[in-house]
Chain A
């Protein structure tokens, strides 16, 4: 076991993105549940003690809401593929211009299971994302961003913190309603608390911006205006080209020029902007996180899990069990082994420095 330190945020995010990519490849509920369990296990073993580390539970709850919504949508609006009917809800015939949508009708077991699988897949992706934010808070990720992307990253991070703060603020405002003699439950309480919460969020954002500005955020440093414009322009060009390229890959009807050439242009532009931006060296980093063996182990564990899923996909159909007709999902051993390898970070990543670790080390030194 290595000495306590914080892992490079890129390693955690790479691992989490690999798990999310695995989840996107499958609708097998057994594998998806295993992915969630793996993510939860690693989070509980290696999370830090900042407030962001408790976010995993919130993401799990959000995933549950997603699954419920998906199933309810299927019951109300889903395509009425014939199957074993469980129950029926009254059907509403829609005018011919809405012919593609069905409202009501018999609800079949197969369609419910299909909705459950798809909702579970989304919930798993959310859980992977929640694991990433739990293991390294967005602020740490921000510090690891290259200089050119830094300012965009700050906007994203501040937007990130809106949700948890809004939840806390809305609870305070609803309690305050009780102090004024109005009930703090019910729809009226929630809707009336929206405006004060938003005003409070705006005040906080302005205070944060003033504090950051007073400490030199956004300094031009040595770069001239034209240099900055050039690097920002390259970043924008790269992102647009990447978007076009990924769309082209997904849509078979797109002309060939919109696929790999667009992707290549995007990657070259982004790399160029990083190189150009890096040369002016506007920001330095205090104690940058090293990328050594534990980081490699964590990233490779995630990549191995993803590779095992690709392999299992080639080998058969088990990653997408059929729901019409309904069958018992098969469990591909390769994928399970890959996911077990993805739990390695729980042992091989260094434990984060917690209060207990610090105080014992100081007691030993004293």
Chain B
């Protein structure tokens, strides 16, 4: 169905090709997962499937890409619309109309489909994706998961046999992500559509995948095979796979269910060990850095936060979790003084942040927003670093050295918008850290980061907490929470639902528990690292 033959893609103004001699084939009716580190060329591969690369982005494509017998060299993307459907990372940016039904019908209008056929297909897609209840709604009022499903539906109505999605669940909370993935698996199994997905958060998707295409980046050859084959050797793997590798399970489990079936002996062995010694030790927490008292926030008639009472102490990493729209971003905005509370108080280091001038507030609290690109407005990385040094009154080169610690090897003449997600996040983080605020806030920093980058972020945040900063991180990523958070606050509809040590909050929750905890339940272990430590302590590595 999809055939890449010796494809080499070089972007204009690039020194080296992004993809070198990629050849693989995806048969019909398979769900194929494309994995790789950030900036390795996954998006390039996906956009080459329908010809957006090189026709839209510029560059040179050597080799051939053939979809269902049609080559992208002969046909532009619009003539392949009834063969391949492509959904980008941000579905809202691709919406052309105002209402759900009109958006679904848009592709068919372009193709000149007869009106009766259009009506029938729209009704079918509404049922298939579970959108019939929102069919009359304006697109701007939909939640992230609903928008993603409408975007999928809008390319499906043209009747393609191949569906390509670029990180469909990165912006969604776990429940919405499950809806989208369920819809995709239904398409694969009920309709026989070939689906190609790029994802970083493999733990959600890998159990459904029939084939993995691993793009290592740096021009190294692409590895294609079944999940068991590929993850046997690769460094990029979900926690379940890592646990399987550690415990020597064969075949490597891909889902929690498969792992539990194999985990019996490991569980018995670990039950005998005194596990409290191998948990990540809680840090010594210092004084209160920030405190909210009866905080109430509203956007017009909508109340975003109700009566929030929280404290944040130095040396503590607090994870803020909850559904999209629960108020996490609003709380962070109030802590850094971007918004004024409707009632109640927010105090950071004794001062109210919204009353401080911009110059003073960055020395007290720093926020890395969801879209880290809005912080960057110079032409080159070097200009950003020197501007940051100037603003914070530091010696020149300070920001640059912080950046090198977080993300090594960033080209100083690169334009910030051309950096990969991980590099951009690193740059934004180094700018915020330059003035060393006692309270550090991060809003969804893990979006777009691969496992390696997430590991580096976790180490960095641990180090910052050890140095005495108070770190608050709003995230959906339960693995990161398990790895770094001391305390976990769960928000729902603007209220605090639970606030306690991360381990207690996370371990028994069906939604927020990491994979290791689910596999080894009822043992209170959160990460593969902890399991490794426990086994090593009793001398049982390698486990068999």
User: Which residues on A are within 8 Å of B, measured CB to CB?
Assistant: 48-52, 137, 139-140, 143, 172-173, 175-184, 192-193, 195-196, 199-200, 203-204, 206-219, 221-222, 281-288, 353, 355, 358
Contacting pair A179 B77 (CB below 8 A) = no
What separation, in Å, do the CA atoms of A206 and B86 have in the docked complex? Answer: 14
Measured between C-beta atoms, what is the minimum distance from A281 to chain B in Å?
Answer: 7
The contact string, 1 if C-beta is below 8 Å from chain A, for chain B 511-531, is 000000000000000000000
Contacting pair A179 B336 (CB below 8 A) = yes
Measured between C-beta atoms, what is the minimum distance from B65 to chain A in Å?
Answer: 15
Nearest chain B residue, comparing its CB with the CB of A211: B94
Contacting pair B52 A196 (CB below 8 A) = no
Measured between C-beta atoms, what is the minimum distance from B258 to chain A in Å?
Answer: 36
Which residues from chain B contact A199 at a C-beta distance below 8 Å?
Answer: 417
Contacting pair B362 A181 (CB below 8 A) = yes
What separation, in Å, do the CA atoms of A19 and B94 have in the docked complex? Answer: 35
- Interface residues in B170-203 by Cβ distance below 8 A to A read none
The contact string, 1 if C-beta is below 8 Å from chain A, for chain B 66-106, is 00000000001111011011101010011111110110011
Which residues from chain A contact B76 at a C-beta distance below 8 Å?
Answer: 213
B483 located at the interface, meaning its Cβ lies under 8 Å from any Cβ of chain A in the complex: no
Contacting pair B106 A179 (CB below 8 A) = no
Give the B interface residue count (CB, 8 A): 71
Which residues from chain B contact A181 at a C-beta distance below 8 Å?
Answer: 358-359, 361-363, 391-392, 435
Contacting pair B338 A178 (CB below 8 A) = yes
Contacting pair A182 B107 (CB below 8 A) = no
Nearest chain B residue, comparing its CB with the CB of A219: B78
What separation, in Å, do the CA atoms of A218 and B56 have in the docked complex? Answer: 14
Contacting pair A287 B52 (CB below 8 A) = no
- Determine which of A49, A180, A203, A285 lies in contact with B109 in the assembled complex, contact meaning CB atoms within 8 Å: A285
Measured between C-beta atoms, what is the minimum distance from B334 to chain A in Å?
Answer: 13
What separation, in Å, do the CA atoms of A148 and B459 have in the docked complex? Answer: 59
Which residues from chain B contact A48 at a C-beta distance below 8 Å?
Answer: 98, 138
Given known contacts A178-B338, A180-B375, is B78 in contact with A216 (CB within 8 Å)?
A: yes
Contacting pair A215 B154 (CB below 8 A) = yes
What separation, in Å, do the CA atoms of A238 and B102 have in the docked complex? Answer: 31
- Determine which of A284, A287, A355 lies in contact with B112 in the assembled complex, contact meaning CB atoms within 8 Å: A284
The contact string, 1 if C-beta is below 8 Å from chain A, for chain B 104-127, is 011111111111001100100000
Which residues from chain A contact B369 at a C-beta distance below 8 Å?
Answer: 176, 179
Given known contacts A179-B367, A207-B90, A215-B158, is B374 in contact with A283 (CB within 8 Å)?
A: no
Which residues from chain A contact B470 at a C-beta distance below 8 Å?
Answer: none
B137 located at the interface, meaning its Cβ lies under 8 Å from any Cβ of chain A in the complex: yes
B295 located at the interface, meaning its Cβ lies under 8 Å from any Cβ of chain A in the complex: no
- Determine which of B109, B336, B357, B417 lies in contact with A283 in the assembled complex, contact meaning CB atoms within 8 Å: B109
Nearest chain A residue, comparing its CB with the CB of B431: A180
Nearest chain A residue, comparing its CB with the CB of B357: A183
B348 located at the interface, meaning its Cβ lies under 8 Å from any Cβ of chain A in the complex: no
Given known contacts A204-B93, A215-B155, A219-B78, is B110 in contact with A182 (CB within 8 Å)?
A: no
Contacting pair B115 A50 (CB below 8 A) = no
Contacting pair A50 B140 (CB below 8 A) = yes
What separation, in Å, do the CA atoms of A180 and B392 have in the docked complex? Answer: 9
Which residues from chain B contact A281 at a C-beta distance below 8 Å?
Answer: 112
Which residues from chain B contact A283 at a C-beta distance below 8 Å?
Answer: 109-110, 112
User: Which residues on B are within 8 Å of A, measured CB to CB?
Assistant: 47, 50, 52, 56, 76-79, 81-82, 84-86, 88, 90, 93-99, 101-102, 105-115, 118-119, 122, 136-138, 140-141, 154-155, 158, 336-338, 357-359, 361-363, 366-367, 369, 371, 373-377, 388, 391-392, 417, 431-432, 435
Measured between C-beta atoms, what is the minimum distance from B165 to chain A in Å?
Answer: 12
Measured between C-beta atoms, what is the minimum distance from B45 to chain A in Å?
Answer: 15
Contacting pair B155 A214 (CB below 8 A) = yes
Given known contacts A183-B357, A219-B78, A219-B81, is B93 in contact with A143 (CB within 8 Å)?
A: no
Which residues from chain A contact B84 at a C-beta distance below 8 Å?
Answer: 214
- Determine which of B79, B106, B115, B362 lies in contact with A287 in the assembled complex, contact meaning CB atoms within 8 Å: B115
Which residues from chain A contact B85 at a C-beta distance below 8 Å?
Answer: 214-215
Contacting pair B109 A286 (CB below 8 A) = yes
Which residues from chain B contact A221 at a C-beta distance below 8 Å?
Answer: 112
Nearest chain A residue, comparing its CB with the CB of B366: A179
Which residues from chain A contact B432 at a C-beta distance below 8 Å?
Answer: 179-180
Which residues from chain A contact B97 at a C-beta distance below 8 Å?
Answer: 139, 143
Contacting pair B112 A214 (CB below 8 A) = no
Given known contacts A215-B155, A215-B158, is B82 in contact with A210 (CB within 8 Å)?
A: no
Given known contacts A181-B435, A215-B155, A219-B78, is B105 in contact with A286 (CB within 8 Å)?
A: yes
Nearest chain B residue, comparing its CB with the CB of A199: B417
Contacting pair B115 A284 (CB below 8 A) = yes
Measured between C-beta atoms, what is the minimum distance from B440 to chain A in Å?
Answer: 12
Provide 5 A-B residue pairs closer than 8 Å at the C-beta atoms, listed in order of the A residue. A172-B371, A178-B338, A179-B366, A212-B94, A282-B112
Given known contacts A207-B90, A216-B111, is B96 in contact with A139 (CB within 8 Å)?
A: yes
Contacting pair B361 A178 (CB below 8 A) = yes
Contacting pair B78 A172 (CB below 8 A) = no
Given known contacts A180-B388, A215-B110, A216-B107, is B115 in contact with A286 (CB within 8 Å)?
A: yes
Contacting pair A182 B94 (CB below 8 A) = no
Contacting pair A213 B388 (CB below 8 A) = no
What 18 additional pairs, Cβ within 8 angstroms, besides A212-B96, A213-B56? A179-B362, A180-B388, A195-B377, A196-B373, A207-B94, A210-B56, A213-B52, A214-B50, A214-B81, A214-B155, A215-B106, A281-B112, A283-B109, A286-B102, A286-B105, A287-B115, A287-B119, A355-B136
Q: Which of A175, A213, A215, A288 gathers the greatest number of chain B CB atoms within 10 Å?
A: A215
Nearest chain A residue, comparing its CB with the CB of B79: A219
Given known contacts A139-B96, A179-B336, A216-B81, is B119 in contact with A286 (CB within 8 Å)?
A: yes
Which residues from chain B contact A196 at a C-beta distance below 8 Å?
Answer: 373-374, 376-377
Given known contacts A353-B136, A358-B136, is B79 in contact with A214 (CB within 8 Å)?
A: no
What 6 A-B pairs are tightest by C-beta distance, nearest first? A211-B94, A216-B81, A286-B105, A216-B110, A181-B362, A215-B107
Measured between C-beta atoms, what is the minimum distance from B48 to chain A in Å?
Answer: 13
Measured between C-beta atoms, what is the minimum distance from B428 to chain A in Å?
Answer: 9
Which residues from chain A contact B113 at a C-beta distance below 8 Å?
Answer: 284
- Determine which of A176, A195, A204, A209 lies in contact with B375 in the assembled complex, contact meaning CB atoms within 8 Å: A176
Which residues from chain B contact A49 at a C-beta distance below 8 Å?
Answer: 138, 141
Q: Which of A179, A218, A284, A288 gathers the greatest number of chain B CB atoms within 10 Å?
A: A179
Nearest chain A residue, comparing its CB with the CB of B136: A358
Which residues from chain A contact B122 at a C-beta distance below 8 Å?
Answer: 286
Measured between C-beta atoms, what is the minimum distance from B471 to chain A in Å?
Answer: 16
Contacting pair A284 B108 (CB below 8 A) = yes
Which residues from chain A contact B109 at a C-beta distance below 8 Å?
Answer: 283-286
Nearest chain A residue, comparing its CB with the CB of B82: A216
Which residues from chain A contact B115 at a C-beta distance below 8 Å?
Answer: 284-288
What separation, in Å, do the CA atoms of A195 and B376 have in the docked complex? Answer: 11
Measured between C-beta atoms, what is the minimum distance from A59 to chain B in Å?
Answer: 19
What separation, in Å, do the CA atoms of A196 and B416 have in the docked complex? Answer: 11
Measured between C-beta atoms, what is the minimum distance from A214 to chain B in Å?
Answer: 4
Given known contacts A50-B138, A181-B362, is B98 in contact with A139 (CB within 8 Å)?
A: yes
Which residues from chain A contact B336 at a C-beta distance below 8 Å?
Answer: 179
Contacting pair B118 A208 (CB below 8 A) = no
